[in-house]
Amino acid sequence: MKPIKVGLLGIGTVGAGTYNVLQRNQEDIRRRAGRGIEIAMVAARNLERARGIVGADCVVVDDPFAVVDSPDIDIVVELIGGYELPRELVLRAIANGKHVVTANKALLAQHGNEIFAAAQEKGVMVAFEAAVAGGVPIIKALREGLTANRIESVAGIINGTTNFILSEMREKGLDFATVLKQAQELGYAEADPTFDIEGVDAAHKLAIMSSIAFGIPVQFEKAHIEGISTLQAVDIRYAEQLGYRIKLLGITRRAQADGVDGIELRVHPTLIPANRLIANVEGAMNAVLVHADAVGSTLYYGKGAGSEPTASAVIADLVDVTRLATVDPYCRVPHLAFQPNEMTDVPVLPMSEIRSSYYLRVYVKDQLGVMADLTRILADAGISIDAVLQKEPGELQTRTDIIIITHQTREKFVDAAIAKIEALEAVERKVTRIRLESLS
Amino acid sequence: MKPIKVGLLGIGTVGAGTYNVLQRNQEDIRRRAGRGIEIAMVAARNLERARGIVGADCVVVDDPFAVVDSPDIDIVVELIGGYELPRELVLRAIANGKHVVTANKALLAQHGNEIFAAAQEKGVMVAFEAAVAGGVPIIKALREGLTANRIESVAGIINGTTNFILSEMREKGLDFATVLKQAQELGYAEADPTFDIEGVDAAHKLAIMSSIAFGIPVQFEKAHIEGISTLQAVDIRYAEQLGYRIKLLGITRRAQADGVDGIELRVHPTLIPANRLIANVEGAMNAVLVHADAVGSTLYYGKGAGSEPTASAVIADLVDVTRLATVDPYCRVPHLAFQPNEMTDVPVLPMSEIRSSYYLRVYVKDQLGVMADLTRILADAGISIDAVLQKEPGELQTRTDIIIITHQTREKFVDAAIAKIEALEAVERKVTRIRLESLS
């Protein structure tokens, strides 16, 4: 059987990794796929650089449309990044009857529904294992490994940059700005780190996982997103004293508000009990914890970024697509886990309706009755307290921190309680509020 | 499209779980598979009990051959356990052109090569996700998720009973016999626990993973197997003092002996640095750590046994088989990850040739020069020492323990050194030797 021909759009870090791994392991990959997989064409801005990576038998062009329009190409691998150009290229590749593999979570989070619908209509595959958690086969696990289950929740450390920063802040007691600078010097954070540190990248990935976990459309635009840039070292320290670690988690789960089924979809710093496996995922590593009715909790861990880890996922998709290229589309795994005519439209809940526990840090005047005021406000709001940590004020100081961990409640009740707390005479600053998940 | 018809052989714990999960989640499963999956026939020894579990539309018989011979059945699920009867049933189902799903690791470890060859010839699928690590989709990860990679090693906690016992021994400082009794009372260990505690069950699973990781035949008979029944509480304690946990690991990896490629295939208690994620897998949970050239380390964690976790894997296989039932066999994932004509025959290395680090506990007379003798013997054998822990003898005692952690070396050198140590006048008992893997 002749090799399947792949066209690469972009040959940066992941593209070069894909080319190199395919070359290095071509024999093992052919032994698995039953057919060779060959990168026959590459579109790159820098032709010189691209030619330095690929072999002489690979055509290098500067026009990506030349790849998606080439009759020689069976599968297009989109590794350009961004939104509009990749959207146009992917839709044109689909229109040309080509299968697509992409690592572009931003593209799928924004235009996934349109792209999957087009692919469905044309009968081609769009595979995207590399879009979430790099080389960890979490899309395959959710879409194929757990098909028996009603999936209840997915919670993941799905951004390596922020996890690296949080690990460093905790281990070395440093503040956010210092560690970010180090991370940038080490290449763990981009020059413009906004997408990572503000949680947008994690929310892209979460929206994709939410869709395949629950059989709903990709709804990135409805995600609640908070990053780690305002997280203070003091809260990481207090959390540790109370037995917790702080991680940037993407969380999506089935929930109810006023008796109506909904989906929570949120990215934010989260306290996790330190003895949970996922709380011990350090540095730039990723991990996704899935809770489902039959299997219980399963966890998937590995490198979430980087040239060859991401290439590993791209090539796994290439092998899958190669195997199924000629079969009836009905026999393939549906793009979003559920058959396209079987998607439902469970609404994403507003943040006020989510349920969580909370870490509250209140900076107070050290005066009689403050604790009584705080606990009364919480009790009136129906919020019960799990733990309290009151720091002695330092010598000559008249202010101190009170930390309260609440039991699970609805966010709107906490919002209301915080407003009342901030109105107290003894409270002069905003209350610090971090959500807490026991993940048991 | 009419539902696919499944016949169940055996309706014990896993069978009942499979029936119940398929019923409970039938709507979600159909939305994913694009077609209903229906258990139409069950073979059970106790007809009464079976009828209490299944609905009236499901035929219950006491002859399992009636199921594999029934023209109404598309897929046979083998959940009987054991070797000979299941072998006969599975081969007959294959001969009848039926696909097979099985959770039976013993069967596949012993007769897998024969069964997969028969399935290949007949063009049917034999799926076995449930045979390893229960509901954790590790077979899918190894076979499909990591196809880009040259897999270097697989190390797993793949027996929940032994992991539960080791966790309890460590946490409560109890000895093996006491904890085994508790585990039996709690239902975590069988009345006859031999297969679990002696490592045979883990070796069955390991032999299957080794085959799909490296593209070699299933070679259970060549596995080195040591269980935990002779493990002493004192070694768990010393290991902890040195920063390690002891786990029963199944380990398979590419290696070389005298310049020739080989495979290590071994199950034994193993020291692991306590800060590794897999060292913190406690209780009856399973975890598999895979190291591969492109993706690096990935880890898969979850419940390795039990009714619904195992059913989760059985049903995931049913969905896969349902989707691919009608496609050209060439388009399916090969049973053992590599195309059947592409398997190689890398030899399993004898234990004397494996490479590992070692924990050695030597019970010695507390006399001058013993430590010098020990270290000289190791140095002469070319074994370098990573750490030493010498316990002070208790009052009125004249014997004490010396614990030595070695750097990596070949097992045969350690065997020779241990023989010399045991010949010393100051050493009156056998040396305790436990292998150590840094898993970095």
Residues B191 and B276 in one domain: yes
pLDDT digits (tens, 9 = 90+) for A125-161: 999 999 999 999 999 999 999 999 999 999 999 999 9
Q: Looking at residue B77, which CATH number applies to its domain? A: 3.40.50.720
Residues A53 and A101 in one domain: yes
Residues B163 and B111 in one domain: no
Q: Which of A27, A28, A290, A440 to mutate to test the interface with B (most CBs of B within 10 A)?
A: A28
Residue B83 lies in a domain: yes
Residue A188 pLDDT: 86
Residues of B in contact with A309 (CB under 8 A): 294-296
Q: Looking at residue A413, which CATH number applies to its domain? A: 3.30.70.260
> Which positions ≥6 away from B121 have C-beta within 8 Å?
none
Instruction: Choose the closest CB to B316 out of A24, A146, A338.
Output: A146
DSSP assigned state of A127: E
Residue B82 pLDDT: 92
Residues B170 and B98 in one domain: no
Cβ distance B302 to A314 less than 8 Å, yes or no, reads no
* Residue found under tokens 């946490």: B171
> What is each CA distance from A29 to A35, A131, B215, in whole angstroms?
8, 21, 11
The interaxial angle of helices A160-172 and A176-186, nearest 10 deg, is 120
Q: Which of B1, B20, B32, B261 to mutate to test the interface with A (most CBs of A within 10 A)?
A: B32
Distance, in Å, from the CA atom of B316 to the CA atom of A210, rounded to the nearest integer, reads 19
Shortest CA distance to A158 belongs to which of A43, A67, A291, A247?
A: A247
Cβ distance B149 to A312 less than 8 Å, yes or no, reads yes
Q: Are B421 and B431 in contact (CB under 8 A)?
A: yes
Residue B22 pLDDT: 98
In the predicted model, residues of chain B with pLDDT beneath 70 are none
pLDDT digits (tens, 9 = 90+) for B111-134: 999 999 999 999 999 999 999 999
Q: Looking at residue A294, which CATH number applies to its domain? A: 3.30.360.10
Complete DSSP assignment for B252-277:
EEEEEETTEEEEEEEEEEEEEETTSG
Query: What sign results for the dihedral spanned by CA atoms B36, A216, B308, B314?
Result: positive
Residues of B in contact with A17 (CB under 8 A): 294
Instruction: Choose the closest CB to B277 out of A301, A308, A327.
Output: A301
Which of A5, A122, A140, A205 is the catalytic position? A205
Residues A151 and A262 in one domain: yes
* Angle in degrees, CA B109, B408, B403, rounded to 5: 100
Cβ distance A33 to B147 less than 8 Å, yes or no, reads yes
Residues B149 and B188 in one domain: yes
Cβ distance A308 to B299 less than 8 Å, yes or no, reads no
Chain A's closest residue to B23, CA to CA, is A148
Which of B5, B98, B122, B205 is the catalytic position? B205
Which residue, of B262, B282, B303, is where some domain finishes? B303
Cβ distance B301 to A298 less than 8 Å, yes or no, reads yes
pLDDT digits (tens, 9 = 90+) for B43-75: 999 999 999 999 999 999 999 999 999 999 999
In the predicted model, residues of chain A with pLDDT beneath 70 are none
Which range of residues forms the domain containing residue A413? 354-436
Residues of B in contact with A141 (CB under 8 A): 137, 140-141, 145
Cβ distance A145 to B141 less than 8 Å, yes or no, reads yes
Distance, in Å, from the CA atom of A164 to the CA atom of A281, rounded to the nearest integer, reads 10
Q: How many domains is chain A partitioned into structurally?
A: 3
Chain A's closest residue to B280, CA to CA, is A277
Residues A224 and A371 in one domain: no
- Tell me, yes or no, if A222 is annotated catalytic: no
Residue B392 pLDDT: 83
Complete DSSP assignment for A49-115:
HHHHHS-TTSEEES-HHHHHT-TT-SEEEE---SSHHHHHHHHHHHHTT-EEEE--HHHHHHHHHHH
